Every structure is written in C-alpha cells, then in structure tokens.
Structure 1
Amino acid sequence: MGVANSDGTSIYYERHGDGPVVVLVHGSGGHHAAWWQQVAALRDAYTVVTVDLRGFGNSDSSMPEFDGQDFPGDIVAVLEKERLTGALLVGQSIGAVAALKAGLSRPDRVGGVVLGHSLGGLDHPELSKLVADDRAEAVKLPVIDRLLSKEFQRNRPDMTFLFQQMGTFNVAKMADLRNLSVNGPSIDDIVASGLEITFLAGERDAVLSTATVRRAHELVERSRLDVVPGAPHSMYWERPDLFNAAVARARESLTQRSATRKATV
C-alpha cells in the first residue's frame, strides 16, 4: 500500500504482484477493495495497481466539494510515485473517463486504456446522442438493475449485498461527478496519442448498449473491441472470470504491440 500526492491531496493505492502493469480505476460505487476478484486472479502474471480516487476509499475525503476534473491527476500521481511505464489503465464506468484523460496526459507512462462499459467521455456529437439515448432507457430501471442482472441478484443475495455496501465507504457521490466528462477528448486526440484503446462491453449492459460501443470502435481508428457475451454493466463483480480474461487479453495485446514497436526501432 502507498500514498501519492496529487496537488496536495493524498491518494491511496496498492501494488500487488510483478510483471506488465495493469492499473485498475474504479467506478462511482467502488474503491480499491472492490477489485478483490481481479487482484487475486491477475497478480501472479502482472503488476496490479488499485487506486482510490479522491473522495473514495482511503484517499483524502476532507474537501468540501469534489471535482471530477481532478481524478485524472490522481491516477497520474500514482503512476509517478511508483515510476510506472507502459501501463494499461483499466477504467470501470466513470473510472474509464478519468483513465482515458490520464493516459492522454501522460503517454510516456501509459501504453493503453481499457474503457470498461464506457466511451471514456469522448466528445463526438453522434456518440453523445447514442450515449444519451442509452441513458434515457437505463434510468427507467432501479439502480441495482442497471448494474447487476436479476439472476445474479436472485441467486447471490450475499454478493449483491456486499456490492451495495462497497459504496458506503465513499464520501464522493455520483452527483458530485457530473462534470467529469466536460472537455472530453476528441477522436483525433485519441488517435494522435498512439495509445492502444480497448472498448470493453458487456452484451447485457443495461447502461451502455453494445451497438453504441461498436459505433465508437468503428470511429476510433485502430481501437480494439471486446464484447463479452452475457455480461452486465458490473462484469468485474458479477462475472470476474470473464472480466479478468478480457483484461488479460488487453494487457497481452499491449505487450505484443510494444515489443513489435521496439523491434522496428
């Protein structure tokens, strides 16, 4: 475990294992401990870093207001503290927005970004409309039904309860984070960065449709698309086996890409 300084704010993080770097960035209801099923599965092959954004988990929560625009800097502070390079940032939901901005700001330390169940706040009129249409359908459902399948809730009431309890450790709330996507990157910004972008979607995601994700993939040149059959929005929690395998695929793709680049230099 460690603490990084992000412009005077203490950011808690943990580092596990050894190997190519995977940094896990939680969503609005998570924190570092929400990744327990990922750390245990991935740490034997990778360096797995979990981060608490400000207002979440063990990071500083003393500020009167939370500005999502500060989250990318929290991630960068951890990368710098640990002197990490070639990292794969894996963002879940709103965490993907922060991860993408962090990667774009520091391509010297980040090689790729996985946008888990998110378009990463891409600023594009067609995609913005598609996301808004998806959200309009999602808000018709109870919050828990947007995140976990009804089958999982019925069959695993214990894990459903623990999932809901995770958010009680956080001070920052979703309402505090609405401006996170403001000044989002353009497609040209992403392509020019050279980052390897992976769109990770769940076939049963009630928040963001696979059709929307596929369209984003089509528009972002050289991006990867990984649509996981049967997976809901919180795939990392409900189907960790599928989520972990997708992360490993993205990490191996980035490792191979980096090796090819070095060989051609």
Structure 2
Amino acid sequence: MPKVVTPDGTSIYYERHGAGPVLFFVQGSGGHHAIWYQQVVELRERYTVVTIDLRGFGNSDKSMAGFDGQDFPGDIVAVLEAEDLRDVVLIGQSVGSVAALKAALLRPERVSGVVLGHSLGGIQHPELSELVAAQRAEADKLPVIDRLMSKRFQENERAKLFLFQQMGTFNVATMADLRNLSANGPSLDEIAASGLDITFLAGDQDAVLWPQTVRRAHELLPGSRLTIVPGGPHSMYWERPDLYNAAVVRIREAVSQKVTAHR
C-alpha cells in the first residue's frame, strides 16, 4: 500500500479501496488505518474508501522524538494531493475530527464535506468550549474503556474488545500528543465562510461528548447537519458498525446531492 512524504519529510501511510464517491476516514487517539475494517469491507463496493495513519500511528513515521498535533492536518492534505482526490467527505473519529476539519479548511477545493464524529472538531466558541471542558472532566472520572464502549459490549463481545485494546499497541503517539491539535481552532464564522458541508455525528450513549452539546453546536453553525444515533456509544464505528455505516452512507449521499445541485 502507498506512502506519501509530507513537505517536512514525514512518511505517511494510507490505503485506498474501491471506487466511487470518496469517504476518507481519520482515526482517533488510539487508532490507525486498520480500525476501519468494518467500514472498508462494507463500503468499498459503492465508494472510494481512504484510510490513513497519522504520524506516530500505525505504519506512518514514528521516528521523531515528539509529536505536534498541529502537524496532523498536513498529513491528511498530503494524501489528498498525492491521490488527487476531489469531492471528498472527510470523516473524523473523536480527536481525528479536529484534524479532518482543519485539513478541509486548508483544501476546500478538494473537500465537499466533513463529518465531525463524536467531536466538535476543535471549534473555538466560548459556550461550546465550556461545555466540552465540563464533559471531559466528567468523562475523565471513568476508566478509559468505559468512556469508549458500553458495558454490554464489554461483557458480550470480549474478542472484539480485546482486539480494540490491542490496536493502540501499534502507535507511538499518545493522547497527550493530540491535545495540542485543538489549539487555534476555527471559529464558526470561518467554517461558515468556507462553504464546507458540516455534519455533527454522535451517539446518544456517548460518555465523552453528550448529545445535547452536539445539538447546541449544530444550532450555532447555520447550515450544518445533525445525526444523533440512538444506542450509539463513543466508539460507535467499532461497537455498532451497522448503525455507523448506515449514517455515513446517508451523509455521503446528502453531500453528493448537494454537490450535484450546485453544478
């Protein structure tokens, strides 16, 4: 599978599967390209599915002494340009949504839409920042796995739970390396001016970001879309791929219809 070298000399691994409108998945703090296996096999028959290892993750360069979250959007841009991708829907998971949104704002001519999965994408807004900080403080009181997966899944899907936990062992970058990613985030006005189609995607069982906060962000960003999935936990893509994949398809089709209407 291919790699691309960024302007600062970092080697970024990515994969491209299938054909059709582009779905570009960006992992969260514990993931890499392989976490999307339940999306790739389901969606590659209808779409071009692109996955990436941000620097410090998976098969991408992990040789640097430290990682700056501000560099992650550039990793995505490098893949967009290497593959000459157009009309892309970038789909972020958790903090990966922050990188996805920043990358889209850097290359809006290549990106039609951004899905902020279980995240507000690092949007800078006093009310939203306060809400997110308060909910993060509550989530930090829970064991990490309880933030990400439901108790039912932990008890009934032990093999998939174990695999999920093993995924992070392939990474060098940590959550601490990603926290700086949200610095200098975009304002609501900047996002609105970009013309990007923005969708807030969340599960109503998310222990990290509560659905009422996601709904408030949607209200504050005119023209944005909102998809809150009943029964969806923070790691819905892994635990409930049926719900997650169906939501992604609906979003991609809505964006495609909008693009077609504006041609």
Aligning the two structures, in what range does the TM-score lie when normalised by the shorter sequence? Answer: over 0.9
The Cα shift of 1:175 comes to: 1.2
Q: Which residue of 2 aligns with 1:117?
A: 118
Match of 1:6 in 2: 6
**Which runs of 4 or more aligned residues in structure 1 lie more than 2 Å from their structure 2 counterparts after TM superposition?**
none
User: Which AA in structure 2 matches 1:143?
Assistant: V
- The 2-side partners of 1:122 and 1:224 are apart by 15
Distance across 2 between alignment mates of 1:195 and 1:124: 18
Query: TM-score, normalised on structure 1?
Result: 0.98
- What is the SS of the residue equivalent to 1:66? coil
Write the distance in 2 (CA, Å) between the matches of 1:82 and 1:174.
Answer: 28
> Are 2:263 and 1:234 aligned?
no
Q: Structure 2 matches for 1:92-171, cutoff 5 A?
A: 92-171=93-172
What are the within-5 Å matches in structure 2 for residues 1-265 of structure 1?
1-7=1-7, 8-262=9-263
CA distance in 2, matches of 1:176, 1:257: 36
Q: Distance in 1 between matches of 2:47 and 2:198?
A: 19
Unaligned runs of 5+ in 2: none
**CA–CA distance in structure 1, aligned partners of residues 199 and 244 of structure 2:** 13
Q: Deviations over 1:117-155 (max 9, x none)?
A: 000000000000010111111111100000000000000
What are structure 1's unaligned runs of at least 5 residues? none
- Find the aligned partners of 2:178 and 2:129 in 1 and give their Cα distance: 17
**Cα shift readout 1:55-100 (whole Å, capped 9, x = no counterpart):** 0000000000000000000000000000000100000001000000
- Normalised to the residue count of structure 2, the TM-score between the two structures is 0.99
When the two chains are superposed, the root-mean-square deviation of aligned CA atoms in Å is: 0.5
**C-alpha distance in structure 2 between counterparts of 1:197 and 1:180, whole Å:** 19
Identity of aligned residues (%): 71
SS of structure 1 residue aligned to 2:213: helix
Which moved further from structure 2: 53-62 or 1-10?
1-10
Letter in 2 for 1:50: T
**CA apart distance, 1:157:** 0.8
* Distance in 2 (alpha carbons) for counterparts of 1:197 and 1:168: 32
C-alpha separation in 1, matches of 2:56 and 2:157: 29
The number of aligned residues is: 262
